[in-house]
């Protein structure tokens, strides 16, 4: 019996709530994942894509109930492909709970995921390391035990131009170690960064924590300047930052990146440059049912000031602009989504993920689809354990211009796959494509991938 988790029931309500706040609600693209609650964004630029590693807040959470990490990737900053969960607490046999905020870095042809989890034997937070040969995993425990453990959280990793790697972490303190080139050991001991008011700002009303630094450091280097962007104060948190001439300081507090906002009492930064632009990732509680324990990752584009300082960034529902277009004439995963309503994802027997739990009126938005001179047909890989339904192809909105309809019959199982094809007329130029799922009551069908054909294709 297929049962629909709590969040998907709220996705249609999400559009209603957004419509009340934004006239063009159908075009809202923040938060960038609507199928589950996500938190603690950690973006990685690799091979022409942004890989976004996140935490996963469980539905109905009343604490930071997190059992796994999730992964999404994009080549254009708006259409995000769901890669499922490449690592979980269960990856670490010595851990018992708390898949909290981590980060992935690439080195020596491998990908290292540094995460805080609770050590089963000590009951304290410790930093583990997952390793994989691909950014999409699967990740395995690189050590079989913690890399470092002092009860504190939120690791960030930075590799300097000279090849020296640093692991920083901490709440309420701020620590670092110098990682060896194998990325799973360190030299020189555990070092504490002095939390001075000059370095990390002044907090009032808390004698035990005189600076603004709270948690969630994100350390990187840009144009010779070292940045430490972090969650500040508590609670609710804002995002502040400091800069330094070297990776270990001395740090100078520079001010606010993102003021307190967004219906979540925590926040967590992730900062990258990609395809000539700068992006700031964060989380809030913007989805229905969202809040401090049910968060959602979002992103904004920003530009550094001429002196390298970071301007204040405000949360929006529009998100970052599209960086490029999407080619509909190559196979596209159905779980590549700019916005969705009522849609969930699950592992597919054909590999990767598929979209499922689709009911009448649910839809997926794919942004900036470059049809060129025109598409003439559409194919999709589908499966249905019931009597199926219809896959409508619409432009501009979920009830926009209808350019094609594929009929999906029952296939005898939710993972019994077949390919359906239907004619298309009127899909030209660059358009926002909506895959709208219609039919009777209950679940209709699953979709694994789709592809257009026609005169507009470039070979």
The answer to whether the CB of 147 falls within 8 A of the CB of 166 is no
User: What does the pLDDT read at residue 60?
Assistant: 85
Pairing of strands 103-107, 95-97: unpaired
Query: Under 8 Å CB-to-CB from 130, ≥6 apart: which residues?
Result: 87, 91, 92, 112, 113, 115, 137, 139, 140, 141, 142
Give the 3-state secondary structure of residue 378: strand
- Please state, in angstroms and rounded to a whole number, the distance separating the CA atoms of residues 229 and 226: 10
Tens-place pLDDT, residues 368-420: 999 999 999 999 999 999 999 999 999 999 999 999 999 999 999 999 999 99
Residue at token pair 């077949």? 418
- Determine the topology of domain 332-453 in CATH: Jelly Rolls (2.60.120)
User: What does the pLDDT read at residue 27?
Assistant: 53
Q: Where in the chain is the domain with CATH 2.115.10.20?
A: 31-302
User: What does the pLDDT read at residue 169?
Assistant: 98
- Which helix (H) or strand (E) segment holds residue 16: the answer is helix 6-21
List the one residue out of 330, 366, 327, 343 whose CA is nearest residue 437.
Answer: 343
Is residue 350 part of the annotated active site? The answer reads no
As a dihedral over the C-alpha atoms of residue 433, residue 438, residue 443, residue 444, rounded to 10 degrees, the angle is: -90
How is 61-118 classified by DSSP, letter by letter? -SS----EEEEEEESSSSSEEE---SEEGGGSTTEEE-----EEEEETTEEEEEEEEE
Query: Under 8 Å CB-to-CB from 434, ≥6 apart: which residues?
Result: 363, 364, 365, 366, 392, 393, 394, 395, 396, 397, 398, 400
Q: Where in the chain is the domain with CATH 2.60.120.260?
A: 332-453
The answer to whether the CB of 96 falls within 8 A of the CB of 82 is no
Q: In CATH, what number does 31-302 get?
A: 2.115.10.20
**Sign of the Cα pseudo-torsion (45, 50, 51, 53, in order):** positive
Is residue 237 part of the annotated active site? The answer reads no
Which of the residues 29, 40, 57, 76 is marked catalytic? Answer: 40
- 123: which 2 tokens? 């009951």
Which of the residues 29, 57, 76, 214 is marked catalytic? Answer: 214
Question: Model-level pTM?
Answer: 0.94
Q: Which residues of the chain have pLDDT under 70?
A: 1-27, 456-459
Angle at 322 between CA 321 and CA 323, to 5 degrees: 115
User: What does the pLDDT read at residue 140?
Assistant: 98
């Amino acid at each position: 019996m297929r049962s629909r988790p709590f969040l998907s029931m709220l996705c249609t309500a999400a559009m209603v709530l957004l419509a009340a706040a934004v006239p063009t609600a159908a075009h809202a693209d923040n938060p960038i994942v609507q199928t589950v609650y996500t938190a603690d964004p950690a973006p990685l630029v690799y091979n022409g894509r942004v890989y976004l590693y996140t935490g996963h807040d469980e539905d109905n959470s009343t604490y930071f109930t997190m059992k796994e990490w999730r992964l999404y990737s994009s080549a254009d900053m708006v259409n995000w492909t769901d890669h499922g969960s490449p690592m979980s607490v269960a990856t670490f046999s010595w851990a018992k709970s708390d898949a909290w905020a981590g980060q992935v870095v690439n080195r020596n042809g491998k990908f290292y995921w540094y995460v805080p989890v609770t050590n089963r034997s000590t009951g304290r937070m410790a930093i583990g390391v997952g390793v994989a040969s691909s950014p999409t995993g699967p990740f395995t425990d690189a050590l079989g035990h913690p890399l470092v453990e002092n009860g504190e959280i939120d690791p960030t990793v930075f590799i300097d131009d000279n090849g020296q790697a640093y692991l920083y972490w901490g709440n309420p303190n701020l620590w670092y170690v110098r990682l060896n080139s194998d990325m799973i050991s360190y030299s020189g001991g555990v070092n504490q960064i002095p939390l001075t008011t000059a370095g990390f700002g002044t907090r009032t009303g808390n004698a035990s924590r005189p600076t603004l630094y709270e948690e969630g450091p994100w350390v990187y280097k840009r144009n010779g300047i070292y940045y430490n962007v972090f969650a500040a104060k508590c609670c609710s948190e804002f995002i502040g930052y400091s800069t330094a001439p070297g990776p270990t300081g001395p740090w100078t507090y520079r001010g606010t990146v993102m003021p307190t906002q967004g219906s979540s009492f925590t926040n967590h930064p992730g900062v990258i440059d990609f395809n000539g632009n700068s992006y700031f990732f964060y989380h809030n509680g913007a989805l229905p049912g969202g809040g401090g324990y049910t968060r959602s990752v979002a992103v904004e584009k920003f530009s550094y000031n001429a002196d390298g300082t970071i301007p204040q960034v405000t949360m929006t529902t529009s998100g970052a602009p599209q960086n490029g277009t999407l080619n509909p004439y190559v196979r596209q995963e159905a779980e590549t989504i700019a916005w969705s309503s009522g849609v969930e994802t699950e592992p597919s027997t054909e590999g990767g993920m598929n979209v499922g739990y689709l009911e009448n009126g649910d839809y997926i938005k794919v942004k900036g689809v470059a049809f060129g001179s025109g598409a003439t047909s559409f194919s999709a890989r589908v499966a249905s354990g019931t009597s199926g339904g219809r896959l409508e192809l619409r432009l501009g909105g979920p009830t926009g211009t209808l350019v094609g309809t594929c009929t999906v019959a029952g296939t005898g199982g939710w993972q019994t796959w077949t390919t359906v094809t239907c004619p298309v007329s009127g899909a030209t130029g660059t358009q926002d494509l909506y895959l709208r799922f219609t039919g009777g009551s209950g679940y209709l069908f699953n979709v694994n991938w789709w592809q257009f054909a026609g005169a507009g294709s470039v070979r």
